[in-house]
Amino acid sequence: MLNKYARAFFTRVLTPFAALLIRIGVSPDAVTLVGTGGVVAGALIFYPLGEFFWGTVVITLFVFSDLVDGNMARQLGRSSRWGAFLDSTLDRVADSAIFGGLALWYAGRGDSLMLCGMAIFCLASGQVVSYTKARGEAIGLPVDVNGLVERAERLVVTLVACGLSGLHVFGVPGIEILLPIALWIVGIGSAVTLGQRVVTVRRESAEADAIAQGGNSA
């Protein structure tokens, strides 16, 4: 749901900026690479140190590259399979860095093996949720379901909770509890989404096999 409405809004907002980058000769692939590098640096430098507020500020600034590069490609008329592959692949890298940075914090100074495990589960389940759709489409199925928690929801819930939790260093009491809550929400939501997609692929594959067998028998 967030993908549908948030992307439309931010695409309109970022179109002038995308046009400016095109005019000065920046390529969409360069924006993708710089954006991913910024997210990875922000997550793996700040989060393991417990600097959630500033880490989230840095990550959020670079996350918008995911919208800018696609906008640039459309303006240039250069949408390609390579661009889609690069963008999707680096999205996985960025997501891994975010949850990996949180896992490092909880494995170290955060001192919670349970929350370290939950951050790792969020990382792994998010990758598998994306894989199920890609794999289903690769074998010719529509995978006509989004599920409860897509990538946009995972990022928004996690980054908002991280940023707000980081306000405890400015004297806001008790707010750091938001991050553990967010990790449980994302973890459970991802598990539900994975189940929804697996069930959908099973149903669609059975229907496709039945149609193929019917055609062969005819």
Q: Catalytic site residues?
A: 91
In sequence order, what DSSP letters do the residues of the chain get, joined into one string? -HHHHHHHHHHHHHHHHHHHHHHTT--HHHHHHHHHHHHHHHHHHHGGGT-HHHHHHHHHHHHTHHHHHHHHHHHHT---HHHHHHHHHHHHHHHHHHHHHHHHHHHTTT--HHHHHHHHHHHHHHHHHHHHHHHHHHTT-------S--HHHHHHHHHHHHHHHGGGGGT-TTGGGHHHHHHHHHHHHHHHHHHHHHHHHHHHHHHHHHHHHHHHH-
Nearest C-alpha neighbor of 165 from the set 184, 179, 146: 179
Alpha carbon distance 108, 106 (integer Å)? 5
